[in-house]
């Protein structure tokens, strides 16, 4: 395991190994155990391309949830994976994963740590008084259901309609109850997403905690800057933003990493082909000019161990606050 040996609760997420009974997924009478495949249809929206990476991240969280001292606990993640086609041979338990496995140890460990860090960021924003949370490119994120939100918190989930439909089918099959006022917003983030979001009740006059987890990696540079400018227009002072980027195009040696090669060969997910090509924008600088401050960290700042020719060396986690 490549992440620090500590519980999620110790990270300040408020999520321990046990989920409160009122928020555990509940299987309706007659439903099949092991998932909600019957109600989730064919997995449309998550069966290819960037959508399939949502399954990869969900399965990383499912594996992490089964560890003795998990970084994050997501009782819904395994249900999303089992409801989708083409995932039957993915390991169900960390005991099935060989130490150093490039996909289910190294890559999954990175996703687990990222989940923990970003969970803590969002909960810190709500402890400071923010009650509006927006998950951009929400994918199979279950934060609205699994995190201990303060009373009065609303969580908007913005993603493509087909992804949200698949997700909702699984949650409905589990009779899952969110722990906040959850509002899915079907929208393509490369087009106009602000109008649907405000129509769903977002109040630009109040602070917002924004999250773009695993999103900017796949957006063209111009689209990333447009998105940042758009969310700034909806952000009152006191708003926050957390996002992930890669700082540069990786060298051929890094691009041949076992992490990328094994993910492509074993799961059919070509991450390198999905990453947006070309130089990346300095979104933090653009936000600074609009009145934000930013802090940049690497996974190694959180005790994630470096490796030779590491595909995570260029990854940065950036948190911003608007003043």
**Which pLDDT value is given to residue 278?**
87
Share the mean pLDDT of the chain.
88
Give 43's pLDDT tier (boundaries 50, 70, 90): low
Global pTM? Answer: 0.88
Q: Average pLDDT for residues 216-237, to the nearest whole number? A: 96
b/e sequence 139-173, b meaning 16+ C-beta within 10 Å: bbbbbbbbbebeeebbbbbbbbeebbebbebbbeb
User: For residues 77 and 65, is the Cβ–Cβ distance under 8 A?
Assistant: yes
Give 220's pLDDT tier (boundaries 50, 70, 90): very high
Give the whole-angstrom CA distance, residue 22 versus residue 241: 30
pLDDT digits (tens, 9 = 90+) for 60-82: 999 999 999 999 999 999 999 99
**Which pLDDT value is given to residue 49?**
84
**Which pLDDT value is given to residue 19?**
36
Report in angstroms the alpha-carbon separations of 293 from 241, 286, 318, 322: 10, 10, 10, 6
**Which pLDDT value is given to residue 117?**
97
34-38, 111-115, 228-232, 281-285: least confidently modelled range: 34-38
Q: Average pLDDT for residues 121-136, to the nearest whole number? A: 98
């Amino acid at each position: 395991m490549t992440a620090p040996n500590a519980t999620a609760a110790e990270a300040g997420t408020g999520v321990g190994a046990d989920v409160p009974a009122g928020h555990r997924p509940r299987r309706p009478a007659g439903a099949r155990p092991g998932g909600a495949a019957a109600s989730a249809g064919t997995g449309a929206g998550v069966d290819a391309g960037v959508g399939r990476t949502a399954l990869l991240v969900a399965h990383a969280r499912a594996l992490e949830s089964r560890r003795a001292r998990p970084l994050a606990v997501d009782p819904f993640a395994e249900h999303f994976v089992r409801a989708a086609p083409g995932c039957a041979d993915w390991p169900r338990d960390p005991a099935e994963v060989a130490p150093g496995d490039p996909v289910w140890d190294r890559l999954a460990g990175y996703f687990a740590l990222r989940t923990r860090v970003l969970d803590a960021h969002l909960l810190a924003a709500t402890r400071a008084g923010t009650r509006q949370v927006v998950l951009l490119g929400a994918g199979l994120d279950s934060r609205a259901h699994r995190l201990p939100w303060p009373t009065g918190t609303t969580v908007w989930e913005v993603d493509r309609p087909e992804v949200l439909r698949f997700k909702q089918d699984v949650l409905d099959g589990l009779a899952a109850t969110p722990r906040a006022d959850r509002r899915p917003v079907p929208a393509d983030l490369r087009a106009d997403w602000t109008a649907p979001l405000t129509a769903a009740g977002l109040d630009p006059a109040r602070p917002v905690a924004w999250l773009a987890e695993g999103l900017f990696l796949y957006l063209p540079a111009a689209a990333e800057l447009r998105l940042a400018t758009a969310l700034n227009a909806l952000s009152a002072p006191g708003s926050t933003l957390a996002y992930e980027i890669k700082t540069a195009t990786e060298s051929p040696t890094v691009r041949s990493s076992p992490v990328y090669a094994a993910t492509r060969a074993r799961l059919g997910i070509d991450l390198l082909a999905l990453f947006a090509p070309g130089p990346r924008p300095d979104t933090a600088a653009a936000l600074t000019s609009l009145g934000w401050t930013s802090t940049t960290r690497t996974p190694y700042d959180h005790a994630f161990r470096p490796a030779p020719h590491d595909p995570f060396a260029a990854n940065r986690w950036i948190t911003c606050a608007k003043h």
